[in-house]
């Protein structure tokens, strides 16, 4: 065993913080509470402890009493609540283990809020890490999963990851500390318990240092995964656009496939499995194509983009256009109108001067079947043909703001106006300026932060 002083965890990452210790009464959590109690003065920690009496075992009330007495010994404020997990499992139609875990974390986060703690301290150790790596590997995880648990993850803090279970037990014995035993942890009726009881002991017969090797592997994988996460985040900042109604990835410059696959998963509004991810990656390299990605959306490659498109787009009701003021069309755009001289604007497709008389009764909306436009210098045509002429990707067409009177479109925002709405000297004119909720094309502005 290591010298006792070496079992004091390094708490530099949480120096001066308030920690809520998840205390079950088992050896791991008792060691955690003891070590943090010894470290609190050195690191300026403020400690609390929380226990959930699951009500699964007859002796669970004794576990709670043990935890209360332990906290009194270490002068740590104690919070406890009893839950009827078996009854809740029947109510939720879920397994005991799953419900117990959900209720435990619900209680811990409630206690964290009540105590104004910064982190929830958990007693996961190196053996738990090896079990986690094997479980994730068995499920076919990627680099994120094989990295296992992290010392700091969101509001969770795991300071015991450097230590083996046996080291914690020896620490408790050396310090005269007792703990509670939960016999359910030794029943191999779930994957983790089976790995703990059979797989790891068998592996250690051939590889005595397997647990430490698995922990090193997880650390190395996490370092590389973090690097990929940073690269993916930078790629997404420059190449992910859209909103819940329509989103896409710009594919002009494809990154390394490891980054691309992470970016696809992050950008895709629906969860995708391994086969789905492979299909989406292949679509990124195709000139065009479309695949289903779930009940509600499909993905389409068009132009230099991979679009994620709702199968049933939410309808956007038309909004009457104000000719002197602001028109807000929720989830689509904002159009500001100001009376002005009849002088066309030619250098900004999102600002146009139109004939006020032609806009009588106009609304702001998206396209409808049968819409027509007579563009400047051209003949009358279907709006769908106009979009094709302008090389607007098909998935994008339902997100384009229009100013229309009936079925006649007078301004396709950011693209062009109709001949009927153009101004001549002496006309009553209005300047319209459009800001889209989604950056579409031609430098469209994005105001919805």
Q: Which tens digit of pLDDT belongs to each residue from 26-80?
A: 999 999 999 999 999 999 999 999 999 987 778 888 999 999 999 999 999 999 9
Read off the pLDDT of each residue in 287-304 and give the average, rounded to a whole number: 93
* Percent of the chain topping pLDDT 70: 95
Distance CA 277, CA 273 (A): 6
The structure's pTM equals 0.78
Q: 353 and 430 in contact (C-beta within 8 Å)?
A: yes
Distance CA 55, CA 69 (A): 19
pLDDT at 3 over 60: no
Read off the pLDDT of each residue in 337-356 and give the average, rounded to a whole number: 94
What's the pLDDT at 20? Answer: 98
What is the residue-averaged pLDDT of the chain?
A: 91
pLDDT at 139 over 90: no
Architecture of domain 4-222: 3-Layer(aba) Sandwich (3.40)
Structural tokens at position 431: 């300047």
The owner of tokens 């397994």 is: 95
Q: Residue 380: which pLDDT band, with cuts at 50, 70 and 90?
A: very high
Distance CA 243, CA 312 (A): 15
Q: Residue 4: which pLDDT band, with cuts at 50, 70 and 90?
A: very low
Choose between 446 and 286: higher pLDDT: 286
Segment 92-123, tens digit of pLDDT: 888 777 888 899 999 999 999 999 999 999 99
Choose between 109 and 181: higher pLDDT: 109
What's the pLDDT at 449? Answer: 31
| Domain ranges across the chain | 4-222, 243-310, 319-436
What's the pLDDT at 186? Answer: 59
What's the pLDDT at 443? Answer: 54
What's the pLDDT at 163? Answer: 96
Distance CA 156, CA 171 (A): 23
Pairing state of beta strands 305-310 and 247-250?
Answer: antiparallel
The single-letter DSSP state of residue 375 is B
Distance CA 55, CA 377 (A): 79
Architecture of domain 243-310: 2-Layer Sandwich (3.30)
Read off the pLDDT of each residue in 230-234 and give the average, rounded to a whole number: 97
Structural tokens at position 283: 């679509």
What's the pLDDT at 33? Answer: 97
Segment 203-215, tens digit of pLDDT: 999 999 999 999 9
- In sequence order, the 6+-apart residues with CB closer than 8 A to the CB of 261 are 277, 281
Nearest alpha carbon to residue 47 among 27, 11, 89, 18: 18
What's the pLDDT at 448? Answer: 34
Lowest pLDDT segment from 41-50, 177-186, 212-221, 440-449: 440-449
Q: Residue 309: which pLDDT band, with cuts at 50, 70 and 90?
A: very high
Structural tokens at position 138: 């068995």
Segment 241-285, tens digit of pLDDT: 888 788 999 999 999 999 999 999 999 999 999 999 999 999 999
* Percent of the chain topping pLDDT 90: 75
């Amino acid at each position: 065993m290591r010298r006792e002083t070496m079992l004091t965890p390094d708490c530099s990452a949480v120096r001066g913080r308030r920690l809520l210790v998840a205390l079950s009464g088992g050896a791991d959590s008792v060691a955690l509470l003891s070590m943090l109690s010894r470290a609190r003065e050195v690191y300026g920690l403020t400690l609390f402890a929380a226990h959930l009496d699951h009500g699964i075992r007859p002796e669970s009330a004794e576990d709670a009493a043990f935890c209360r007495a332990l906290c009194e010994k270490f002068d740590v404020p104690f919070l406890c609540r009893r839950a009827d997990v078996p009854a809740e499992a029947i109510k939720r139609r879920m397994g005991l283990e799953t419900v117990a875990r959900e209720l435990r974390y619900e209680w811990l986060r409630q206690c964290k809020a009540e105590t104004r703690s910064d982190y929830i301290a958990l007693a996961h150790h190196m053996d738990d890490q090896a079990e986690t790596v094997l479980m994730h590997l068995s499920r076919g995880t990627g680099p994120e999963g094989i990295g296992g648990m992290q010392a700091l993850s969101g509001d969770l803090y795991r300071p015991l990851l450097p230590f083996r279970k046996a080291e914690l037990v020896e620490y408790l014995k050396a310090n005269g500390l007792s703990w509670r035993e939960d016999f359910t942890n030794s029943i191999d009726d779930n994957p983790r318990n089976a790995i703990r009881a059979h797989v790891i002991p068998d592996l250690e017969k051939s590889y005595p240092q397997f647990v430490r090797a698995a922990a090193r592997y997880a650390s190395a994988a996490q370092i590389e995964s973090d690097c990929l996460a940073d690269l993916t985040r930078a790629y997404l900042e420059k190449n992910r656009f859209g909103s819940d109604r329509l989103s896409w990835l710009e594919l002009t410059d494809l990154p390394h496939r490891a980054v691309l696959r992470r970016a696809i998963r992050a950008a895709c509004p629906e969860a995708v499995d391994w086969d789905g991810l492979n299909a989406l990656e292949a679509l990124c390299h195709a000139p065009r194509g479309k695949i289903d990605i779930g009940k509600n959306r499909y993905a389409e490659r068009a132009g230099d983009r991979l679009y994620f498109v709702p199968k049933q787009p939410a309808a956007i009701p038309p909004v009457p256009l104000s000719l002197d003021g602001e028109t807000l069309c929720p989830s689509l755009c904002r159009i500001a109108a100001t009376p002005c001289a009849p002088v066309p604007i030619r250098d900004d497709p999102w600002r146009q001067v139109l004939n006020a008389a032609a806009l009588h009764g106009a609304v702001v909306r998206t396209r409808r079947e049968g819409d027509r436009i007579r563009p400047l210098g051209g003949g009358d045509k279907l709006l769908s043909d106009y979009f094709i002429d302008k090389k607007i990707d098909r998935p994008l067409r339902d997100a384009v703001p229009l100013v229309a009177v009936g079925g006649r479109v007078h301004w396709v925002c950011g693209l062009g106006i109709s001949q009927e709405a153009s101004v001549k000297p002496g006309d009553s004119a209005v300047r319209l300026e459009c800001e889209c909720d989604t950056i579409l094309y031609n430098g469209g502005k994005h105001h919805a932060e």
